[in-house]
Amino acid sequence: MVLSGSYKQGLLLDSRSYTHASKAVNDQINLALIGSGIQGIYDTTSALRIPGVKLVAVCDLYTGRLARAKELWGDDIFVSRDYREILELKDVDAVIIATPDHWHKRISIEALKAGKAVYCEKPMIQNFDEGHEVIEAQKKSDKVMQVGSQGMSSLGNEKAKELYEDGAVGEIVMLDMYNDRYSSQGAWNYPIPPDANPDTVDFDTFLGSAPKVPYELKRFFRWRNYKDYGTGVAGDLFVHAFSTLNFVISSNGPNRALATGGLRYWDDGRDVPDVSITLYDYPETKNHAAFNASFRVNFIAGSGEGYGFRLVGTEGEMHVGSDRIKLVRSKLGMKPGGYSLISYTEETQKKIIAAYDKKFADERSKNLNIGETLWEAPSDYKGSHYDHFNNFFQGIRGEKKIIEDPTFGLRAAGAALLANESYYKGHPVKWDPDAMKLI
């Protein structure tokens, strides 16, 4: 742990290890991957870094990914294009679900019913009415379920929560999040392999509950570009920020949203915006004051790529990253300041200044710029992805409580999806963050 700067009072800086560790385990967890695309490979690679975990099966609808799975993880793993065959395997203890969003609910529920622990990529749902079904399915099972906003388990989040609860920024006033991208891949235009064809890609199964359309490889490999299969920038990017925000300030989420945006550059057949700006209202709760949040994503940011998450309070601001926090503190004194006297005579100006200086002579009246504090994770920190899977496997073994269970996952996804609801309807929308329902 590295800390530099002025803010050190009251923090648990040396009270625990800041690198999460896995205990030695005797019981092996057999893992299966359903959806072996980019995120599925990232997830599985992180999961297999943790002791006591073995990959035994992989499912994907493109045979090239099944071949790649064997290249990565060995010829002895079971592969299939039918996820139901994976769920029937008796030796599978847990599944990673990294499919397109419109399959999340169905496979999660079926996996829980089959007796598997579930790690489902964010967003947990594609539509608002799916969330409570997933929650109930998990409650009825005796298995744990983790939602995959991996930044939830980061040391940066934990430090931000500690600082916030210590009053480091005072009362929260606003949250500003931005995510700027400036590349074709950043805009979800992933490469389509030359061997992709009706024999190697099961397009009909991919469609699932979505409307039936003619065979089109772009829809399969670039599914995030279509609202029939994905959730746009809200479900891909906003949801991460909501997971962090709700965790840091112990909130159930916003109650109102207003979105705007449009398709400004990537006019390639997609039907989701590449620029999205949404304003959210958070109501007052026992854990935080009422405040406003601004979320924006730009897939054609000529200013360059970047990400920011800035929590602003009455006494400072925090810039939150998964392994780095910058805290900037200031304190408004009792002196109101800002008087403009140019419209008064010089004699009147002198009288006002004299009275002002006399009234606010106390040192406490001054505005204080307390300074900056920088916190960085240690150089050997294994990262938030590792920690999120470590928490999942500890949950399976009964050692730890799951940090992002289906209820938390619905609150994060529901808040994010308000952006889509408002954008497509063209007006503000309301949400009950406690009941987790549209109003």
pLDDT in tens, 278-320: 999 999 999 999 999 999 999 999 999 999 999 999 999 999 9
CATH number at residue 133: 3.40.50.720
Residues 180 and 294 in one domain: yes
Q: How confident is the model at residue 40 (pLDDT cuts 50, 70, 90)?
A: very high
User: What is the structure's pLDDT at 70?
Assistant: 99
Q: How confident is the model at residue 31 (pLDDT cuts 50, 70, 90)?
A: very high
With respect to residue 278, please indicate whether it lies within any of the assigned structural domains. yes
Q: In this structure, are residues 65 and 2 in contact, taking their beta carbons and an 8 Å threshold?
A: no
Among positive and negative, which fits the CA dihedral 157, 162, 167, 169?
A: negative
Residues 260 and 305 in one domain: yes
Cβ neighbourhood burial of 146 (10 Å; 0-12, 13-18, 19+)? buried
User: What is the structure's pLDDT at 330?
Assistant: 87
Within 13 A of 302's CA, how many CA atoms are on the CB side?
2
- Rounded to 10 deg, the angle between the 155-165 and 384-396 helix axes is 90
* Terminal CA-CA length for the chain: 44
Question: Residues 104-109: what's their mean pLDDT?
Answer: 99
Rounded (to 5) percent helix, strand, coil in the chain: 35, 25, 45
Residues 148 and 161 in one domain: no
User: What is the structure's pLDDT at 305?
Assistant: 94
Residues 176 and 60 in one domain: no
User: What is the structure's pLDDT at 15?
Assistant: 33
With respect to residue 237, please indicate whether it lies within any of the assigned structural domains. yes
Provide the domain count of the chain.
2
Residues 124 and 176 in one domain: no
Question: Residues 22-36: what's their mean pLDDT?
Answer: 83
DSSP-assigned letter for residue 283: P
Instruction: List Cα–Cα distances, 87 to 82, 83, 91, 96, 123, in angstroms.
Output: 9, 7, 10, 11, 21
User: Quick check: 226 pLDDT over 80?
Assistant: yes
3-state SS track over 288-332:
CCCEEEEEEEECCCCCCCEEEEEEEECCEEEEECCCEEEEEEEEC
User: What is the structure's pLDDT at 340?
Assistant: 79
DSSP-assigned letter for residue 269: S
User: What is the structure's pLDDT at 9?
Assistant: 44
Among 152, 177, 212, the domain boundary falls at 152
User: Quick check: 22 pLDDT over 60?
Assistant: no
Distance CA 220, CA 230 (A): 11
Residues 31 and 123 in one domain: yes
What does the angle CA 120 – CA 155 – CA 48 come to, to the nearest 5 degrees? Answer: 45
User: Quick check: 13 pLDDT over 50?
Assistant: no
| Domain of residue 160, residue span | 156-334+365-383+404-438
Q: In this structure, are residues 271 and 308 in contact, taking their beta carbons and an 8 Å threshold?
A: no
With respect to residue 328, please indicate whether it lies within any of the assigned structural domains. yes
With respect to residue 391, please indicate whether it lies within any of the assigned structural domains. no
260-272 pLDDT tens trace:
999 999 999 999 9
Q: How confident is the model at residue 11 (pLDDT cuts 50, 70, 90)?
A: very low
Question: Residues 15-31: what's their mean pLDDT?
Answer: 62
Please give the residue that has the higher pLDDT: either 230 or 152: 230
Q: In this structure, are residues 259 and 420 in contact, taking their beta carbons and an 8 Å threshold?
A: yes
Residues 180 and 310 in one domain: yes
For 6, the 3-state DSSP assignment is coil
With respect to residue 353, please indicate whether it lies within any of the assigned structural domains. no
User: What is the structure's pLDDT at 20?
Assistant: 52
Among 152, 171, 194, the domain boundary falls at 152
Strand partners, 117: 94
Among 126, 152, 178, the domain boundary falls at 152
Distance CA 154, CA 141 (A): 28
With respect to residue 148, please indicate whether it lies within any of the assigned structural domains. yes
User: What is the structure's pLDDT at 185?
Assistant: 95
Residues 134 and 169 in one domain: no
Q: In this structure, are residues 27 and 179 in contact, taking their beta carbons and an 8 Å threshold?
A: no
User: What is the structure's pLDDT at 341?
Assistant: 84
CATH number at residue 299: 3.30.360.10
With respect to residue 358, please indicate whether it lies within any of the assigned structural domains. no
Question: Which helix (H) or strand (E) is 336 found in, with range?
Answer: none
Distance CA 21, CA 78 (A): 30
With respect to residue 356, please indicate whether it lies within any of the assigned structural domains. no
Distance CA 365, CA 343 (A): 26
349-401 pLDDT tens trace:
899 888 888 887 775 556 666 789 999 999 999 999 999 999 999 999 999 99
User: Quick check: 154 pLDDT over 80?
Assistant: yes
Instruction: List Cα–Cα distances, 299 to 247, 326, 342, 416, in angstroms.
Output: 27, 26, 47, 17
Question: Residues 338-348: what's their mean pLDDT?
Answer: 84
Q: What is the mean pLDDT of the chain?
A: 93
In 3D space, the residue among 233, 150, 225, 154 whose CA is nearest the CA of residue 189 turns out to be 225
Residues 184 and 77 in one domain: no
Residues 326 and 306 in one domain: yes
Strand partners, 53: 29
User: What is the structure's pLDDT at 271?
Assistant: 97
User: Quick check: 405 pLDDT over 70?
Assistant: yes
Q: Strand locations in 48-171, DSSP E?
A: 53-59, 78-80, 94-97, 117-121, 145-148
Residues 174 and 85 in one domain: no
What does the angle CA 415 – CA 268 – CA 237 come to, to the nearest 5 degrees? Answer: 25
The whole-model pTM stands at 0.92
Residues 238 and 266 in one domain: yes
Polymer length of the chain: 439
